[in-house]
């Protein structure tokens, strides 16, 4: 496959140009980020493949991700700035770090991949759905290893109950005709990303969609029905259909990265019951007149689903506190800098 693409083929939209001036185009050219490395970026543009370094102030402000569009200096191979995004998947970094981490940008759809075996986890899928809806990206639940499962319909039913409006596709990632079910989201210029836990077949599926074995795959472990993790970086690849796919490493931990995620899009049933509670500030635990608790007791609402809803709400509150603390830290630091400047100025005036 040729590595020369027009901006249109790379997914360029007229909206991106609205924020660029003639001076911008004289200073640099637009390019799309194919991969992010410690040393810089791999880029695709109408000039062909290339690379660029990212000044520290640009990276600190932007958190550049695969799929982003950047403006690059004509001769210096250096990023001038990040262009406005149409969408961004973001999470809180794993571990004790409270840093927001960009996963992929400018997506048209998100393939949330799980498998028809013991890896299927409804709470984890709800978390990925919340991630997609919060980024205003169309989610698609993709169930792999359907060829190895005796009860594919059962898994499909479980997935459909999580969010009735979300398409569910069960397939054999190694069979081209089965993978063809994803073609509605893979039209020319569109960009999709694959997310899911390690070993569910994301790389195998990506290979099938791309039409070339660009991602290494390894066999399933017999002890827990899971494949071995193979993808180690987020990278964007062209497909034979003209679409773009971004494969991501299996995420050991996925914490929501926004303070106000759109949980209602995933937990519409919970929030419908919540509207019937006696008190508007009901915590849906032991509160008097709680319609949510009553629905769980009567079997109309899954207790697991309610607990996951509460868990994601707590995470959102934690992100909100972290954002406030970060802003306060920045305000205090700015105050110290201004005081230091004033002190130095006074000394010079003496």
Q: Residue 25: pLDDT above 70? A: yes
Last residue of a domain, one of 82, 100, 123: 82
Question: Beta strands of the chain (E only): which ranges?
Answer: 28-37, 40-45, 48-52, 69-73, 79-82, 88-92, 100-105, 109-115, 138-144, 168-170, 191-195, 235-238, 244-247, 255-256
- In terms of domains, do 153 and 224 share one? yes
Contact 199, 230 (CB under 8 A): no
Domain-embedded: residue 142:
yes
- As a whole number of angstroms, the distance between CA 59 and CA 79 comes to 9
Choose the weakest-confidence range: 155-159, 226-230, 232-236.
226-230
Q: Residue 341: pLDDT above 90? A: no
Q: Residue 343: pLDDT above 80? A: no
Last residue of a domain, one of 252, 286, 301: 252
Choose the weakest-confidence range: 119-133, 201-215, 246-260.
246-260
pLDDT digits (tens, 9 = 90+) for 272-317: 999 999 988 888 877 788 999 999 999 999 999 999 998 988 887 7
- In terms of domains, do 246 and 137 share one? yes
Contact 266, 126 (CB under 8 A): yes
Q: State the pLDDT at residue 225.
A: 47
- The CATH number of the domain holding residue 24 is 2.40.50.140
Domain-embedded: residue 7:
no
Higher pLDDT, 195 or 220: 195
pLDDT band at 94 (very low <50, low <70, confident <90, very high): low
- As a whole number of angstroms, the distance between CA 323 and CA 212 comes to 42
Closest CA to 81 of 72, 91, 89: 72
Does the pTM of the predicted model rise above 0.75?
yes
Q: State the pLDDT at residue 224.
A: 47
DSSP labels, 77-116:
-BEEEEPPPS-EEEEEPSTT---EEEEEES-SEEEEEEES
- As a whole number of angstroms, the distance between CA 133 and CA 256 comes to 11
Domain-embedded: residue 9:
no
- In terms of domains, do 326 and 279 share one? yes
- In terms of domains, do 248 and 107 share one? yes
Choose the weakest-confidence range: 64-73, 122-131, 338-347.
338-347
- In terms of domains, do 96 and 224 share one? yes
Average the pLDDT over 94-105 and give the result: 73
- The CATH number of the domain holding residue 325 is 1.10.40.50
Q: Residue 59: pLDDT above 60? A: yes
Q: Which residue has the tokens 């799929």?
A: 67
Q: Tell me which DSSP letter residue 29 carries.
A: E
Q: What percent of the chain has pLDDT over 90?
A: 52
Domain count, the chain: 3
Q: What percent of the chain has pLDDT over 70?
A: 80
- Residue 342, helix vs strand vs coil: helix
């Amino acid at each position: 496959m040729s590595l020369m693409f027009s901006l249109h083929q790379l997914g360029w939209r007229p909206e991106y140009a609205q924020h660029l001036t003639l001076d911008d185009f004289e200073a640099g050219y637009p390019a799309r980020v194919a991969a992010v490395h410690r040393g810089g970026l791999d880029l695709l543009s109408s000039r062909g493949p290339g690379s660029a370094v990212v000044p520290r102030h640009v990276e600190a402000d932007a958190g550049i991700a695969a799929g982003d569009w950047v403006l690059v200096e004509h001769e210096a191979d250096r990023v001038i700035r990040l262009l406005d995004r149409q969408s961004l998947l973001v999470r809180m970094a794993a571990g004790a770090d409270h840093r927001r981490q960009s996963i992929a940008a400018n997506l048209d759809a998100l393939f949330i991949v799980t498998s028809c075996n013991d890896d299927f986890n409804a709470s984890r899928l709800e978390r990925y759905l919340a991630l997609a809806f919060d980024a205003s990206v169309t989610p698609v639940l993709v169930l792999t290893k359907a060829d190895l499962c005796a009860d594919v319909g059962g898994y499909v039913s479980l997935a459909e109950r999580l969010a009735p409006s979300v398409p569910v596709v069960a397939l054999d990632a190694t069979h081209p005709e089965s993978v063809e079910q994803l073609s509605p989201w893979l039209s020319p210029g569109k960009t999709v990303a694959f997310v899911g836990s390690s070993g569910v077949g994301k790389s195998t599926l990506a290979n099938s969609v791309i039409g070339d074995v660009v991602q290494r795959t390894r066999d399933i472990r017999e002890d827990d029905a899971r494949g071995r993790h193979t993808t180690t970086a987020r990278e964007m690849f062209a497909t034979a259909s003209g679409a773009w796919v971004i494969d991501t490493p299996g995420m050991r931990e996925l914490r929501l990265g926004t303070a106000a995620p759109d949980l209602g899009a995933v937990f519409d049933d919970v929030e419908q019951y919540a509207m019937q509670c006696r008190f508007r500030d009901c915590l849906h635990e032991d509160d008097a007149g709680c319609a949510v608790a009553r629905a769980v007791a009567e079997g109309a609402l899954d207790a697991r689903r309610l607990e996951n809803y509460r868990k994601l709400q707590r995470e959102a509150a934690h992100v909100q506190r972290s954002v406030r603390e970060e802003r306060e830290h920045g305000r205090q630091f700015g105050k110290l800098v201004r005081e230091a400047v004033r002190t130095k100025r006074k000394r010079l005036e003496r």
